[in-house]
Structure 1
Amino acid sequence: MIYQPSLITSSAAWIAQQELSDAPGKKQRRVIHEEIPVQDIDPDLRKLGHHIKRCTRKHIRVHVPAMRGSEWSHFLRSLEISRALN
């Protein structure tokens, strides 16, 4: 059975072909980035990280606003730093 990719091809035929072949599945590799230095973190995001840390201690819910990828990495790094200091 030769598989011809098409928009109309059912996924069941493709799955059956993959089970018969010995090819391993493709794995997604994780990209490891360097740590962000403390001085480079945006001060507003550091304040938000400290605020969330205080609220979690008091068991208060916190709304995390939408962020871009770079802001999200700064925010997560600020949480790491604030939790490591305690």
Structure 2
Amino acid sequence: MIYQPSLITSSATWIAQQELSDEPRKKQLRVIHEEIPVQDIDPDLRDLGRHIARCAHKHVRVRVPAMCGSQWSHFLRSLETSRALS
């Protein structure tokens, strides 16, 4: 008895079905969000952005803590406003 992994078999079958179907492939769309105004950036994340920008200028390694999506966007916007990584 020859054992075939089901994951490889099912994905190969799915790919064959997709090639035979006439449906156009779905492309993933990028969602464009508005820019965050400077006055709305969280002060703690703005300070973290400045700290990292200074350390990057001095070529010092910095650990970036884990953040949720909204914090990450505030942090990246603070780096953009400080002209560090824009």
Q: Tell me if TM exceeds 0.5.
A: yes
Quote the Cα distance in structure 2 between the aligned partners of 1:41 and 1:10.
Answer: 47
RMSD (Å), alpha carbons: 1.8
The equivalences for 1:7-46 within 5 A come to 10-46=10-46
Unpaired runs of 5+ residues, structure 2, are 1-8
The aligned residue for residue 73 of structure 2 is 73
Q: Report the alpha carbon displacement of residue 10 of structure 1 after superposing the two structures with TM.
A: 1.3
Equivalent residue pairs, number: 77
Q: Report the alpha carbon displacement of residue 22 of structure 1 after superposing the two structures with TM.
A: 3.0
C-alpha offsets along residues 6-27 of structure 1, whole Å, 9 cap, x if unaligned?
xxx7111111121222322111
TM-score normalized with structure 1 length: 0.80
Q: Report the alpha carbon displacement of residue 58 of structure 1 after superposing the two structures with TM.
A: 1.1
TM-score normalized with structure 2 length: 0.80
Quote the Cα distance in structure 2 between the aligned partners of 1:70 and 1:13.
Answer: 39
The aligned residue for residue 3 of structure 1 is none
